[in-house]
Amino acid sequence: MTTNIINRSTAPETGALHFEGFPAYKQELINNHFPCYSVENFSSNVVRLDISIPSGSWMQSKPLQSSSMARMITEGTKQFNSFQIAEAIDFSGAYLDVSSSPHRTILSIYAVKDILVSLLPLVKSILTEPTFPADELKTILANNKQEFIISNKKVMGRARRFFPSLLYGNRHPYGTVIEEKHFDALSTEDMQSLFNALPLSESSIFLGGNIDENVMEHLQNLFSDAAFAKSNSNTEQNYNSEPSSEKEHLITVPDAVQSALILGTPVVGRSHPDFPVLMLTNTILGGFFGSRLMKTIREEKGYTYGISSGITARAQASHFSIQTEVMAEVTQQALDEIFREISRLSVAPVEMNELDIARNYLFGSFLRNMDGPFALVERLQTALQENLDPNVYYSSYWDAIAAATPADIQHMAQKYLIPENMHVLIVGNKQ
Amino acid sequence: MLQFEKYTLANGLKLLINNDKSTPMSVVNILYGVGARDEDENRTGFAHLFEHLMFGGSINIPEFDTPLEKVGGENNAFTNNDYTNYYVTLPAQNIETALWLESDRMLSLAFSEKSLEVQRKVVMEEFKQRYLNQPYGDAWLHLRPLAFKVHPYRWATIGKDLSHIENATMNDVKEFYEKWYNPANAIMTIGGPLDTDKVIQLVEKWFGDIRKPHQAQHSIPQEPVQNEKRVMTLERDVPFRALYQAWHMPGRMEADYKVCDLISDLLSNGASSRLYQNLVKDKNYFSSLNGYISGDFDPGLFIIQGELSDGFHFDDVKPAIEAEIQQIKDGKFSDRELEKVKNKIVSTFEFSKISCLNNAMNLSLYEWMGDAGMINQELEKYKAITRDDISRVANKIFCDTNLSELMYEPTK
């Protein structure tokens, strides 16, 4: 029953957003050696295990070698063939994934709580004795190649693969552009040699969710295998960025009805004190639905279904980028508008109200990203991979954003988002 | 078990509350019982275009997103053939902001000409991005009218073609809103660490005085039984041949719907499934191949879809799919395999439950289908499915006279 006439034009009272610090997690050593981090949460019935190994495309000698090795590691071991592995996982109602990034190879398992320990013998076999069968490798590379060819027919697919080379150069692991021929150049030996160089002794373990009390015992058994004593036999290589000298690169796709645009420039990463306020600056420019780019390019002009900006933060180098797919006829107008928005941030300070909207959006998104044990496990990994203490890093990130002023935003834009420094890639049509 | 409480307001608005103390965030999910199947065939794409306009300001509040972003919230929406769903997630202490915003756009929109103008363009770009500017993007624009001749599932949510969106007028917008957007056609689910009485009080405060009549009826022509195989070939600039096979299957509320779901799992759920193991890996006829159900409320489609490996022709690979289907028809699968797909249903349910947003969307959906309580009986129903059920249903739906087949032939 409503007795009072309510005032619909005025927003209800709201509470300020707070971050109480990174939630409690356990840190212990398995077999007095392997760091294990766990976030317990018994509100659900499921659990996640990640085994993270510090190796990735940074250590590879050929394009696709690391991601293919990660993919192939579950395709046959001395004890189990490819089908047996897949069937055991499916029968358990679990999910298994091995991912590869420039600096990490991570095996992740999601399972209903009681199931996890029963899958650990399989995990052990996968990580210690994969065989990389040649016939499986051939099929998987052929399929991946087709998937690549299809994805490269999409303007944005092609743009995303090509753009990093403009900032880092094709020889840098962050900038290598994948080509069809790379799928044909990989052999079982390439898989085996990169696997042999995996520094398994430097693995870290992450657990989240409804963690069985017996799981530690089983993990001790798993990591007691001699294979986990294996340390890095590769010496880590150094790569320098070799940015392209041309600022605008066009790949013409004659019949495209939309052009994919990516603009970007190198910026600082998580360990730099500017990073939090730079993230806030990015949010104002293109980091959410209410951002300047979204308002101008989509909501004012109707040039696109969506436009966004973001920061790709990695251990060795980071970059800012803007991406969108726009009506082909207005490719140049869209670019002009994007540049106008980039410049506007440097020229005049943002209004306090606009700053507060972006700040609170970013806070909300931060809190969402900390919601639940699986998310927390990811946040732990993000910080620890860059040798940041999660308890310090996330609190100081929040505090820096809370303290940011319009002058700080303008300063970040002037320092990092310099229009003349932007590399521009157009895939599509530019009349 | 998914716990929830149910409450109906005097104006007909249904409210479900899922108390979840494990999260500091709350969810407000509102399902409106209108989708693309409710559209006029000359004005398709309207339910979806309208969804965009729901963000263009309401009668008392100029912008939907900004006040929400300002309190740490995030929101989005989707439209499908059957219904339109709007959702907000925000820190629980600010839930009233979401109720204020959602209630105002349920009360009345601003109907801004500028918003219609711009969203028309935005949706046209969405159409290009999803359907025109990528290989195989137009598959569903052709497969739907091939499989459906009468039922409105014959057009995609985005619309039959761009002109329908271009020609939408403000008058169309107002009529559509009046017909479908009212409390008695909406189901709201609120999730999070909340006090039930407090939630009801807030919902009454913001939604209780929205009095709008609801006489709208779905009048949806049902699809007659198909009695001939339908085939269509598209010549396109695509890198590889692609095959789409679609068979009519039972609607969401029929018992055999779940049987079809399990059949699709036997064929295609996980790396150990039949299509992947036999036709992608062993024979390498396809670089990818999937079997799935469309999930529609009215009788929908069972689909097998894949890209052929370079060098293979349709005649090489179609008999192999047929042979896989024959195995299912003949009940030639092990007890362990049946147990496997049932285990997967159970674990998928467990994983889905950890997201407060998923729970809220599912509760609204099940209530719209008839009763939110059905969600807690789903697993038992799946567990009761037998080999004979699978064989019987497979024999019923997998026949050529029930098949629509779309093939992509590369032009270069």
CA separation for the pair B90, B67 (Å, rounded)? 12
Cβ proximity of A82 and A136 under 8 Å: yes
- pLDDT values of chain A reduced to their tens digit, one per residue, 431 residues: 445 678 999 999 999 999 999 999 999 999 999 999 999 998 889 999 999 999 999 999 999 999 999 999 999 999 999 999 999 999 999 999 999 999 999 999 999 998 999 999 999 999 999 999 999 999 999 999 999 999 999 999 999 999 999 999 999 999 999 999 999 999 999 999 999 999 999 999 999 999 988 999 999 999 999 999 977 655 668 899 999 999 999 999 998 999 999 999 999 999 999 999 999 999 999 999 999 999 999 999 999 999 999 999 999 999 999 999 999 999 999 999 999 999 999 999 999 999 999 999 999 999 999 999 999 999 999 999 999 999 999 999 999 999 999 999 999 999 999 999 999 999 999 87
Looking at the complex, report in whole angstroms how far the Cα of residue B334 sits from the nearest Cα belonging to chain A: 12
CA separation for the pair A305, A294 (Å, rounded)? 9
Binary contact (B132, A257; C-beta < 8 A): yes
Q: Considering chain B, what is the average pLDDT of its residues? A: 96
User: Which has the closest alpha carbon to B160: B66, B48, B270, B64?
Assistant: B48
Prediction pTM value:
0.95
Q: Token pair for residue A123?
A: 């995990």
Query: Which residue has 């469309």 as its token pair?
Result: B294
Q: Would you tell me which residues 114-133 of chain B have a C-beta closer than 8 angstroms to some C-beta of chain A?
A: 117-123, 125-126, 128-129, 132-133
CA separation for the pair B304, B267 (Å, rounded)? 9
Q: Token pair for residue A415?
A: 């320092």
The neighbour count for residue A35, using CB atoms within 10 Å, is 15
Residues of each domain in chain A carrying CATH 3.30.830.10: 26-229, 248-428
Radius of gyration in angstroms for the set of CA atoms belonging to chain A, rounded to a whole number = 24
Binary contact (A154, B122; C-beta < 8 A): no
- For position A2, what pLDDT does the model report? 46
User: DSSP class of residue A351?
Assistant: P
**Is B139 at the interface with chain A, CB within 8 A?**
no
- For position A234, what pLDDT does the model report? 58
Residue B102 CA, chain-centre distance (Å), reads: 22
pLDDT 10s digits, B86-122: 999 999 999 999 999 999 999 999 999 999 999 999 9
Q: For A105-109, which contacts have Cβ atoms below 8 Å and span 24 or more sequence positions? A: A105/A52, A105/A53, A105/A55, A105/A56, A105/A66, A105/A69, A105/A70, A105/A198, A106/A50, A106/A51, A106/A52, A106/A53, A106/A381, A107/A50, A107/A51, A107/A53, A107/A73, A108/A48, A108/A49, A108/A50, A109/A48, A109/A49
Q: Closest partner residue to B272 among A45, A86, A258, by Cβ?
A: A86
Spell out where A257-386 has E strands: 258-267, 304-312, 318-327
Binary contact (B350, A11; C-beta < 8 A): no
User: Which has the closest alpha carbon to B304: B404, B225, B393?
Assistant: B404
The neighbour count for residue A252, using CB atoms within 10 Å, is 11
Contacts of B21 in chain A (CB under 8 A): 43
**Is B33 at the interface with chain A, CB within 8 A?**
no
Handedness of CA B320, B321, B322, B324 (dihedral sign): positive
**Is B277 at the interface with chain A, CB within 8 A?**
yes
Contacts of B307 in chain A (CB under 8 A): 146, 150
Contacts of A46 in chain B (CB under 8 A): 347, 350-351, 354
Q: Closest partner residue to A6 among B118, B205, B288, by Cβ?
A: B205
Cβ proximity of B106 and B186 under 8 Å: yes
Q: Token pair for residue B298?
A: 């009215």
Binary contact (A143, B287; C-beta < 8 A): yes
Reported confidence tier of residue B320, pLDDT bands at 50, 70, 90: very high
**Is B270 at the interface with chain A, CB within 8 A?**
yes
Cβ proximity of A266 and A167 under 8 Å: yes
Cβ proximity of A200 and A230 under 8 Å: yes
Q: Closest partner residue to A153 among B90, B135, B273, by Cβ?
A: B135
- For position A235, what pLDDT does the model report? 61
Residue A138 CA, chain-centre distance (Å), reads: 28
Binary contact (B125, A325; C-beta < 8 A): yes
Binary contact (B128, A327; C-beta < 8 A): yes
Q: Which helix (H) or strand (E) holds B65?
A: helix B65-69
The stretch B136-148 carries a mean pLDDT of: 97
User: Which has the closest alpha carbon to A133: A196, A71, A67?
Assistant: A71
Q: Token pair for residue B225?
A: 């039984």
Contacts of B136 in chain A (CB under 8 A): 150
Cβ proximity of A399 and A324 under 8 Å: no
Sequence-ordered list of residues with C-beta below 8 angstroms from that of A385, at least 6 positions apart, any chain = A52, A103, A104, A315
Contacts of B102 in chain A (CB under 8 A): none
- Annotation: CATH topology of A248-428: Cytochrome Bc1 Complex; Chain A, domain 1 (3.30.830)
CA separation for the pair A252, A398 (Å, rounded)? 43
Cα B189 to Cα A254, B21, B360, distances in angstroms = 48, 16, 5
Contacts of A261 in chain B (CB under 8 A): none
Domain A26-229 has CATH 3.90.600.10: no
CA separation for the pair B45, B158 (Å, rounded)? 5
DSSP, residue by residue, B355-380: -HHHHHHHHHHHHHHT-GGGGGTHHH
Cα A135 to Cα A98, A122, B288, distances in angstroms = 20, 21, 17
For B278, nearest residue in chain A (alpha carbons) = A83
The partner residues of B26 in beta bridges, in order of sequence, read B90
Binary contact (B277, A290; C-beta < 8 A): no
**What is the widest separation between alpha-carbon atoms in chain B?**
65
The neighbour count for residue B250, using CB atoms within 10 Å, is 20
User: Which has the closest alpha carbon to B52: B97, B116, B9, B104?
Assistant: B116
Spell out where A118-230 has E strands: 204-209
- For position B216, what pLDDT does the model report? 85
DSSP, residue by residue, B120-182: HHHHHHHHIIIIISSTTTTHHHHHHHHH-SSSGGGS-TT-SSHHHHHT--HHHHHHHHHHH-S
Contacts of A364 in chain B (CB under 8 A): 69, 71-74, 90-91
Tell me the backbone φ, ψ of residue A386, rounded to 5 degrees.
-105, 20
Q: What is the set of domains in chain B, with CATH numbers? A: 5-207 (3.30.830.10), 230-410 (3.30.830.10)
Cα A141 to Cα A261, B241, B312, distances in angstroms = 29, 18, 17
The partner residues of A130 in beta bridges, in order of sequence, read A77
